[in-house]
């Protein structure tokens, strides 16, 4: 019995500190769903102008992968684009869906540097 209560005390000590920070973190920054964001990026047509990997193209739209914009500026761009980009109103794309796209774009890995690609290395 003594062992059992000790075990219970240890389990409580392990479980409770783990729950509290996780709950606090969720409240401050809702993590976007990367997989859902990836699907939405394709379904809503962002890729048509920004490229399948968010790499951008000179004639259609800038790079959006690894965007440096904070989430609220990103949302503002979707709701009130400044130039050629069509507006995506909340009725079409909710804030939460937009946050998922943002999460997807943020985690796209950077391309390899030109010096790591043998064919691109300058030979002298």
Interface residues toward ligand HEC, by CB under 6 A: 44-46, 48-50, 60-62, 64, 67, 69, 74, 77-78, 81-86, 88, 93, 101
Residue 25 vs 94, nearer CB to ligand HEC: 94
Q: How far is the CB of 35 from ligand HEC (least distance, A)?
A: 16
66 Cβ contact list (under 8 Å, min separation 6): 54, 105, 106, 108, 110
Half-sphere exposure of 23 (CA within 13 A, CB side): 6
Q: How far is the CB of 13 from ligand HEC (least distance, A)?
A: 44
Q: How far is the CB of 113 from ligand HEC (least distance, A)?
A: 21
CA 4 vs CA 8, 9, 37: distances in Å: 6, 9, 46
């Amino acid at each position: 019995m003594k062992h059992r209560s000790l075990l219970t005390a240890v389990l409580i000590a392990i479980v409770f500190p783990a729950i509290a920070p996780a709950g606090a973190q969720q409240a401050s920054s809702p993590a976007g769903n990367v997989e859902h964001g990836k699907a939405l990026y394709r379904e809503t047509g962002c890729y048509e102008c920004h490229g399948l990997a968010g790499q951008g193209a000179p004639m259609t739209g800038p790079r959006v992968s690894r965007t440096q914009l904070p989430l609220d500026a990103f949302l503002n761009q979707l709701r009130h684009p400044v130039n050629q980009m069509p507006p995506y109103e909340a009725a079409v794309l909710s804030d939460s869906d937009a946050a998922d796209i943002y999460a997807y774009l943020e985690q796209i890995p950077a391309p390899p540097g030109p010096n790591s690609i043998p064919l691109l290395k300058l030979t002298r």
